[in-house]
Amino acid sequence: MTGDIEQVAQRYARYTALGAALIAGLWHTGYDLTVTIAGWTGFRWPLLAALAWAGYTVVAVLATLALARTARGPVRIGVLAGAALAADVAIIVACRPDDLLGISDWGWGSVGWLGVMLTWNRPRWTGELAAFLAANAAIMLVAMAVTGTFDRLSVAKYLVVIVGGVTMQVGYAAGCAMLRARAEDAVLLARRLAADDAWRESARRIHDDRLRRYAAIREVAESLLQRLADGDDPGDPRIREDCTAGAMRLRRLITEREDVPDALVSALRERIDAAERRQVLVTAPPFGGTLPDLPGDVRDDLLRAPVQALDGARTRARVTVSAMTTMVSVAVVADNDDLPVHAEPVREASGVVVTYQRQGGEVWVNSIWQRPEPDP
């Protein structure tokens, strides 16, 4: 569920960014290109107008590529912002003074969309976008002052275009920023809920494990005490062996702790319990420390040979687990006569290395996994 919500948030970020690029592209080709071609003969310097349109296009393409890669504007926008404003100045210069507020002067109305793309989703996008739009408005205001186009009608037209353009551009950027923020809030909430669920599941498993241990302790103690109460001779070698096995099992159950349940340790404990029910004396020091996260195939390969040695033990076995952040080792020493022994270490596909050794009537099996070194 958390992954699905994160994917939705990523789609919000990606497609709102590409939406800004789509608006800028359609505006530039549908309106700017049309008025440039239609008013070609009306320009004072038509080639400069064409150059301004091409420069705007280059900046738009570069900004779109940045958005397509990261859903964020370019890392360095100074040069591109300067080029966008230069295209604005170029189209103003290319127009005749009488057309300064006409449809041929398309730059000051549309260049703001480049500002939206360049500052998209950047850490300080509000200040950067405000500075860009203010610079665009100031350029046009200076041009009006230089050409003497400063009557009330011209100022009214200027305000209508500037206010209308800024409202659309800032409104789109702010609205999309709000959508992204809400999507990110949903991701954070989903992660917190998933963490709470994981904590509750862990607490339940810990509680269940404690109940299991308490029940096993009670079962062992009751069984031994009941046999002694029924008149079994404490000096009988068989009774003494059973008491020794029970005492070892009690010691292991009492010292066990599993604040963070681990699948590998849980599987080992099940096999240890099964061996003890067969009257095998199992020595198992407390499995301390926290094991690293292991893939399922690694865990299976770590357990396979040691569990075979434990399951085939006749009377005694010793189980140890060693763990570090980059290494896990599972070892079993048991009086197992049936387990096939390999002279050379066995290397599993998962990276686990299993070593065998037989001496006298005992077999030693040790499986080790080490985390692969990261590629340089």
Taking residues 68-79, report their average pLDDT.
Answer: 86
Backbone dihedral region for residue 279 (phi beyond 0: left; psi -120 to 50: alpha; all else: beta): left
> Confidence band (pLDDT; 50, 70, 90) for 247?
low
Q: Are 132 and 70 contained in the same domain?
A: yes
Is residue 48's pLDDT more than 90?
Answer: yes
335 alpha-carbon distance from chain centroid: 47
Domain-located, residue 202 = no
Is 259 in the same domain as 127?
A: no
pLDDT cut 70: percent of the chain above it: 88
Within this chain, do residues 173 and 280 fall inside the same structural domain, yes or no? no
pLDDT in tens, 133-163: 999 999 999 999 998 888 888 889 899 989 9
Range of the domain at 248: 232-370
State both tokens at 316.
Answer: 């005694």
Residue identified by tokens 């300080």 is 124
Residues 86 and 141 in one domain: yes
Categorize the per-residue pLDDT at 127 as very low, low, confident or very high, splitting at 50, 70 and 90: very high
SS3 for 50? helix
Find tokens 């404690």 and name the residue.
210
Looking at the structure, do residues 52 and 157 belong to the same domain, yes or no? yes
Residues 258 and 169 reside in one and the same domain: no
Q: Is residue 247 part of a domain?
A: yes
> pLDDT digits over 323-333, tens only?
887 889 999 99
Residues 308 and 333: their CA atoms lie apart, in Å, by: 11
Tell me the C-alpha to C-alpha distance, in Å, between residue 297 and each of 28, 99, 231, 326: 56, 74, 51, 16
Residue 359 and residue 268 share a domain: yes
Same domain, 269 and 125: no
Say whether both 183 and 303 belong to one domain: no
Q: Is 285 helix (H, G, I), strand (E, B) or coil?
A: coil
Q: How far is CA 344 from CA 7, 353, 355, in A?
A: 48, 10, 7
Which of 76-90, 227-241, 293-307 is least confident? 227-241
Q: Are 320 and 327 in contact (CB under 8 A)?
A: no
- Looking at the fold, whether 187 and 244 belong to one and the same domain comes out as no
CATH number of the domain residue 268 falls in: 3.30.565.10
User: Can you give the pLDDT at residue 208?
Assistant: 78
- Determine which of 42-46, 173-177, 208-212 has the lowest per-residue pLDDT on average: 208-212
Structural domain total, the chain = 2
Q: Which residue type is seen at 123?
A: P
Half-sphere exposure at residue 370, Cβ-oriented, CA atoms within 13 angstroms: 6
Residue 100 lies in a domain: yes
Give the pLDDT of residue 119: 92
pTM of full prediction above 0.75? no
Task: Evaluate whether 121 touches 71 at the Cβ level (below 8 Å).
Answer: yes
